[in-house]
Amino acid sequence: MRRLVIIGDHFMRSDMFEKAIRQKCPKADLDIIRHDLDWPDRPMEHGYAQAGMAGLKEYMGSEEGTVALIDGAEILVTHLAPLSASIMDRCPSLKFVAVSRGGPVNIDMRAARQRNIIVVNTPGRNASAVAEFTIGAILAETRLITRGHDALRRGEWRGDLYRADRTGEELSEMTVGVIGYGEIGTRVVRLLKAFGCRILVADPYVQLSASDHADSVEQVALERLLAESDVVTLHPRVTKETEKLINAETLAQMKPSAILINTARGPLVDYDALYEALKDKRIRSAMLETFAVEPVPADWPLLKLENVTLTPHIAGASVKTVTYAAGLAATEVRRYLAGEPPVNRC
């Protein structure tokens, strides 16, 4: 029998991955061992290097605990388990890893390549969920849903939110700027088209589709997008180029009435600069789903501002995300067992 270990959690559940693998590999002689980590009930490590884990991000588990789970396994399917060079050295049987996320940030990829360990991922696993959530975030800010909710929670009836000089605009009369046009950005644009808004896209590495051109989507430089957009929504990957893309300089290029939406990654934003811009009303409001430090500190200044909506990094949380990722991982396992090349090798 070939040993396969699944390290899931309370979101990416190991039983759902085993079900998908059994369905895709009905004739495989597999010894499947499952374990679920305590995320999201307990926070993961967000890149604060622990001993032996330098360079790894967004993981949960220690070296000793991870080795105890995967020692002797040929195949690992996981979401958050860390794989450092030291862990790989202590688990010489490991040959194939399917990591259920868009980027294998919890794995030392250089060490994996040096040890001929195949690593695959599940790109686009939560693209649909995040895109839908982004539309909800935009509506919450443009139509003052959060402001009304917060007031009622305090026992206040905000009739003034109906005033013509205060009420929110409709998307049909707004310009929405989408920064980053990958799996999620393209889905956000597809959903936005139904609202009839003007759509601008800034991404130097992609081209618009024929349908985008037919629907009057415009690809523009970042500077123009910031200057003309009523809503700016972020969807790029975090790279050296995009870290703190939203900063004092770029915030100054936005309209005073503009709204910022971040359902992507915390490092895209200079949160100190954003706080100052929101406090001084140099932009209208923001909806923030991801943060530079998670969980956010209880005394974080942005928690105190009325013109900010905050959620605890839940945009990608849907059952479809899990089932889709499980299906992708199971297909990769089947291909590995059959001696076929992977589809999404990292």
Rounded Cα distance between 199 and 174, Å, is: 9
CA 12 – CA 16 distance, rounded (Å):
8
The two structure tokens encoding residue 219: 């690809």
CA 185 from centroid of its chain's CA atoms: 12
How many CB atoms sit inside 10 A of residue 119's CB?
A: 21
Rounded CA-CA distance 73/143 in Å is 52
Q: Which of 13, 79, 147, 313 is catalytic?
A: 313
Cβ neighbors of 292 (< 8 A, separation 6 or more) are 266, 267, 269, 271
Residue 220 to residue 35: CA distance in whole angstroms = 47
- Per-residue HEC secondary structure of 208-271 comes to CCHHHHHCCCEECCHHHHHHHCCEEEECCCCCCCCCCCECHHHHHCCCCCCEEEECCCHHHECH
Q: Residue 345: helix, strand or coil by DSSP?
A: strand
**Pairing state between β 175-179 and 231-234:** parallel
Choice among 294, 306, 340, 345 that is catalytic = 294
> Is 46 part of the annotated catalytic residue set?
no
* 170 among known catalytic residues: no
Is 265 a catalytic site residue?
Answer: yes
User: Which is catalytic among the residues 265, 284, 289, 332?
Assistant: 265
Residue that the structure tokens 């599940």 belong to: 122
Residues labelled as active-site residues: 265, 294, 313
